Structure 1
Amino acid sequence: MYQFINEGSVTSPKGFKAAGIFCGIKKRKKDLALIVSDKLCNAAAVYTLNKVKAAPLLVSKEITDKDIQVKAVLINSGNANACTGEDGFMDAKFTQEYCADKLNVSPENVLISSTGVIGVKLPVQKVISGIDQIINVLSEKGGIDAAEAIMTTDTKIKSFAVKVRLSNGETTIGAICKGSGMIMPNMATMLAFITTDAQIQKPLLKKLLVNSVNISFNKISVDGETSTNDMVVLLSNGLSGVEVIEGSSDEKLFQKALNAISIEMAKSIVADGEGATKLITINVTGADTQEDADLVGKSLANSNLLKTALYGNDANWGRIMSAAGMSGANFDPAKVSISFDDHEVLLPHFQVMLNEEIAYKILSKKEYSINVNLNGGDFSSTWWTCDFSEEYVKINANYRT
């Protein structure tokens, strides 16, 4: 069984410390975070599929692709260090090496991550000065500061923790993430750092992470944009003394807890989408194949026409049908049924059941579901998206200023 600890909790898995400070990359806000384990961790990660990858991502990927343990993760916000060429790569390596030296470990034991403006040289000296400061303020309660320091256009700190009761004891999963705009699989302008004091071997750790990412971070969209810096990292230091063995009932329990915390993080990113006013769950059922279900869900989640209608509380179900039809999925339009929460608006053979007043009340809520039944096969898919407001345009029209 697992139990969530209050969002915003400072609870950390055993042996992990964190901190977040202002080092001068941004004008005023915290912009440097550090997560450190008391001992080396097994590490697994997934990264953006964008062909344009930021320098720190390339450095970190080289580590997690190998059987190398990790001591720490250094993250800066305000500067993506992307599209900065060889100089950017060397800057990333230099900050990694400097941080590793301060922690008395090898550079390959330190992952690095960046988020912010693309195409601007990393202010290395500010980061170096920040490393000197942040090393001295690491604490078991520093996760909230770290979560704040990785924010860009986010309006809310995103920090989560869950306790998992396994057959041989209790373990904790802690996580912070950021993301608000440029959000779409695979993956999004989002960073997520997950830690656990469970003892998990790397192959199983990667399996658990990929399974969770596929049903959480890869099922969200704010604006259909995939970024250059996205990563989700999972660290396991084993300091709880609780081991998760592949094929055991504990694996299933841990996977369920990891899925739950990943979904909560993913939903928090969409709910905090740039200019968003509501969180929408999209449930697609009755598809002939899993691919068809995912294609329809993704198309609805990315449809700007649908998302603007939802912002205006307009029950324009025709935009749902149109988005489904352009998805590339195989289905019979005449079999489709659609509902907003429990209110049926369309039944098979294009029977319109829409009650505008009921639909308006549902669409005016901060959170609701759009349910699309293709009435074909047995496959389903759940996605999360948000509406599109004028504020999104304002935020991104002035992103660098």
Structure 2
Amino acid sequence: MLARIIKPRKLSCHFQLASRNYSDFSHVVIGGGVVGTAIASELQKVSGNSVLLVEKNQGLGLETTSRNSEVIHAGLYYPPNSLKAQLCIKGKEKIYQAWDSDPNFKSQVPLRKCGKWVVAQSESEIEYLEKLSKNATDLKVPVSMISASMAAKKYPLIRAEAGALESHTTGIISAHDLTHYYQSVFEINEGTVSLNTTLKDIQFNQGVPNYTLNLFDDENGEFEIQADNVINAAGLYAAEISNLLLPNKISPYFAKGTYFSFEPETPISSSKITEVLIYPCPNPNASSLGTHLTFDLGGQLRFGPDLEWLDIERAEQIDYTPSSDNLQAAYEAIKTYLPLITPQALHPTYSGVRPKVVSEIENKKAFADFIIRDEKNQGFAGFVNLLGIESPGLTASWSIADYVRDIYH
């Protein structure tokens, strides 16, 4: 059965009563990106649950989800005790297991386990790779070292003067199709979707207890529903949603990344350049993995994202226009591992923005983990906040959904 699309004027004849018979839904998930859709899907599988997924756009996965590099991350960069490490690795494994064993998943979600090289150009960068290899081993993420001579023999157009670290379980996936798969599971289990719908306010009814959500539909105006539990998976808007309810206010930060297409003056097959993703060793003073080489499922090479912290206070102020001002810096970064690149071969194509929980300065000082927590310590039991869900959020989406589901059990 397809998900029922709520129309506010007909809400009273469409809702299902939750277990306490006070609420219209057992759970409301705010945000229909890949993570929010995955959460709604897993919650709706639980017997007795009635889940509403609220999305402000006209479809699911049209914002941050549609603006990423579509990499299945192996999980080798993150501290072993972090949520990013644990959920990235579990999410990666769930995706690959489903692709290997579930014909429906395999037919709906194209992916490729292509692998990745992190390339080093100096002895200091080799030392970094050795530490990265140790971290990967601690996490049980399969990697192997590649000598400079082996790297040159395999991909002579890639510069890896000191060697490379190969990640065997890195891949690429269609973010759109993964979101659509989660949506299809949600619909089969009779979950409810409300598109073109914005959360305007939320109140906690302590005596019940449950939550009243004031929503606005673009076509029909304002309406109100009640839910036993609320999950804030609003991505770039998550801090704003949290601040509607919680007394401890959160300052949002935003980091923009521009992607560049590759159009060389002399045509060259992408497979002659590389058949694995290529990442540079991160700059120790940077707060990203650097401008790397990826490709889509059709084999088209692209580079990015770079990193630009935005001086804005709200997500609605984001300008996604990719700027040519960043092209020279991208060229300088890329030519360290792909000497054949020229500025004329690079063209800014699109950009994405990451929701950050710390400022640029704080991000350089310490590792910033996912925040996924039930806000019961602030007096709002059942309100689960997801903050700073940036990379590797796509890879971790399925395991994030499991993590949130388990909070309620």
If the length of structure 1 is used for normalisation, what is the TM-score? 0.23
Q: Which has the higher contact order (CA 8 A, sep 6+)?
A: 2
